[in-house]
Amino acid sequence: MADSRQTTAVAPIDRVVARIQAVYGRWNRSTSVEQMRKDWDALFWSDAVSVGTESVDADGVDAGWISAAGAHRDRVLIYFHGGGYKMGSVISHQDLMARLSGAAACRVLGVNYRLLPEHGFPAPVEDACAVYGWVLEQGIAPENIVFAGDSAGGGLAAATLIALRDRGRRLPAAGVMLSAWTDLEARGASYETRAQADPIHQRAMILMLARQYLGASGNPRDPLASPLHGDLRGLPPLLLQVGDRETGLDDSRMFADKARAAGVEVRLEVWDGMIHVFQQFAAELPEARRAIANIGGFLNSIWSKS
C-alpha cells in the first residue's frame, strides 16, 4: 500500500535560518572571540562565484580586491562587512562581494577594519576614511567610487560619509546600506514588533554590542557611531535594503526618512519575509539574487551619470 503521508517542503529561508541558528547555538560564555570569528567566516564563505582576488595594504588597513570577469577597473565599490564590529572579514563576505562585482561590473575592495575587543570606536571609522584616501591615491575619481556595507558595516558606510563631508572631502558617488545598524540605542519600534519574527537578532544583544563598541564613556548618539543622529545634508544618493522580519527594520526606515528630509535622494527596499542581511545567502535565496541585481542596477545608473 502506498504511503499516503505528505511531506512538508522546507522553505529556503527556513533552511538558511536553521544553519545560522546551528552556529549561534554552539556559542556560550566560554566561546572565544577567535572561535566565533572562525565560525562566522565558515558560515558565510563560498567560492562558488569565480573572481580574481588580491590582498592589499590600503594605507595600513588590510583589504582585498574582488574582481569579476569584465569588471571596470576604474569603478570601485568599497565594501564594509557586518558582524557587530566584532566579527566578519573579507573571507566571510567574499561570495556577496563577488556577486556585487558581477552585478555592477566593478571592482570591489573589501575592508578588514579593526574589530572588537582589540579596537573599539572610532577605529573602524578611521580605517574607513584611510581606505577611501588610499583608493583616491590609486587614481580612482570620487564619482567612480561607491560605499557599501551590511549591518554594522552599513552603519559604518553612512558614518564614514558623514565624517568625510565634515572634513571637507569630496564624497563618493553613492552609498548602499544592507540591513544597516544606524542607531546604537536600538530605539526603533521594530525591536519589539519584530521580536517574534526575527530568529537571530534581539535588542539585548544589539545593546550589548553597542556598549562594547563605545566603551564605558562612549556616547551612543555620536553621529559617527549612530549615523541616524547625524546631519545627513549633502550625502550622495543612497540605496537601503532591509528584511521585513528584522528587529532592526526601523534602523533603515528611520534613516531613510531622515535622509529624505535632509534632501538626500533615497531608495528604500523592504523585502517581505527576509531576514538580516539575506543577500549573503544568494546561492539559496532567489530574493537575495534579485536584491543583488537591484544593487547592480542602482550602481550602473549612478555611474552612467559620471
* Residue positions annotated with a catalytic role: 151, 246, 276
d(CA 234, CA 231): 9
Q: Copy the grid coordinates of residue 200.
A: 537571530
Residue matched to cell numbers 544593487: 295
Exposure string over 60-92, b if 16+ CB within 10 A, otherwise e: ebbbbbbbbeebeeebbbbbbbbbbbbbbbbbb
d(CA 48, CA 59): 30
Q: Copy the grid coordinates of residue 242.
A: 532591509
d(CA 221, CA 218): 9
Q: Confirm if 270 and 249 have CB atoms less than 8 A apart.
A: yes
d(CA 48, CA 153): 23
